[in-house]
Amino acid sequence: MRKGIYIFSILLLALSCFWFFMRKNYEGPTPETVVQAQNTELSLQESSSIVHEDYQVQRDQVNLTGVITADANYKQEKRPLLVIVHGFNNTLENYADYAEELARQGYLVYRFDFYGGSRASKSGGTDMLNMSVLTEKADLEAVVNQLSKEKFVQGDQVTLIGASQGGVVATLYAAEHADRINKLALIFPAFVLFDDVEATYASLGVKSPKDLPDVITHRNAQLGSIYLKDAMSVDIQQEMKKVTAPVMLIHGTVDDVVPYSYSLEALKVFPNSQLVTVEGGGHWIDANFNQIALPALEEFLRE
């Protein structure tokens, strides 16, 4: 009996060793260690093959018409977003050359027409009676929000280039969404418009903004009263102080629409800014203006 128990114990031990050996050698490969990829910023990749493609943005009942300018393979990549914000009574067509140059630098560039931003706006509202700096800020918010969700756009931050009134709108956006701004470039920004609005308001002789007529003449244009009301509600210097991103101001010394002195003053107010002076430059972008402005802008955006 004891001998049988002994033999059984030996067999049980042998089976245990065999089972351990088989498990050790045939349980399959060790699972790979999962390493979570860290988010790293993509460096700008210069492009030589550029495309221009129509792209619409929806804001409430408005379809904002615009154009993406980027590397031909942008839909298979992720590129940093740069939005060009046009000026008063301008359109996206005024900035086609800038869009192409900056796309070659590696940005995905978007330019669009504001609703009511001009008599020729492809986004509608061509009577310009429902446009103001705040309605245009709402347009810009819709643009950034929609494009930031596209798979071909890198991250949530955006670089803005605003010209004239577009510079004011870009500043207002950057003040409200400071964490979303990479860099802010302002070409002869129309900070004078707030003084202009006050002068027009005073000339109308009304007791309060609510007494303004529905249509007013301002800067030789027929505009809705919303243009004055919204501008008068903004403290632009307080808004400038909220902008934490690097700011580049570019301004000509003989600008007769927005005096150069307004950018000199803005330079003191923005927390982190620099000023590029275009000697003899006016309130328009031409070859002479771009000899100074474009290389400075490209260097600023490349830093």
Residue 17 lies in a domain: no
**Looking at residues 46-69, what average pLDDT do you find?**
93
Residue 7: band (very low, low, confident or very high) from pLDDT cuts 50, 70, 90 = very low
Asked if pLDDT for residue 145 goes beyond 60, the answer is yes
- 138/87 Cα distance (integer angstroms): 15
Q: Look at residue 43 in the predicted model and tell me its pLDDT.
A: 53
Asked if pLDDT for residue 72 goes beyond 80, the answer is yes
Among 43, 88, 49, 87, which residue's Cα sits nearest to residue 69? 49
Residue 303: band (very low, low, confident or very high) from pLDDT cuts 50, 70, 90 = confident
Residue 45 lies in a domain: no
- The region that residue 63 occupies, defined by phi over 0 for left and psi between -120 and 50 for alpha, beta otherwise, is beta
Residue 158 lies in a domain: yes
Q: What pLDDT, in 10s, does the model give residues 227-271?
A: 999 999 999 999 999 999 999 999 999 999 999 999 999 999 999
CATH number for position 225: 3.40.50.1820
Q: What pLDDT, in 10s, does the model give residues 181-237?
A: 999 999 999 999 999 999 999 999 999 999 999 999 998 899 999 999 999 999 999
Residue 251 lies in a domain: yes
Cα atoms in the Cβ-side hemisphere of radius 13 Å centred on 209: 12
Overall domain count for the chain = 1
Q: Look at residue 26 in the predicted model and tell me its pLDDT.
A: 31
Residue 65 lies in a domain: yes
Residue 27 lies in a domain: no
User: pTM of the entire structure?
Assistant: 0.85
Look over the chain and give the mean of its residue pLDDT values, rounded to a whole number. Answer: 88
Measured in degrees and rounded to the nearest 5, phi and psi for residue 26 equal -130, 15
Residue 285 lies in a domain: yes
- 154/133 Cα distance (integer angstroms): 28
Q: Which residue has the higher pLDDT, 292 or 156?
A: 292
Q: What pLDDT, in 10s, does the model give residues 73-129?
A: 999 999 999 999 999 999 999 999 999 999 999 999 999 999 999 999 999 999 999
- 218/175 Cα distance (integer angstroms): 26
Residue span of the structural domain in which 216 resides: 50-302
Residue 244 lies in a domain: yes
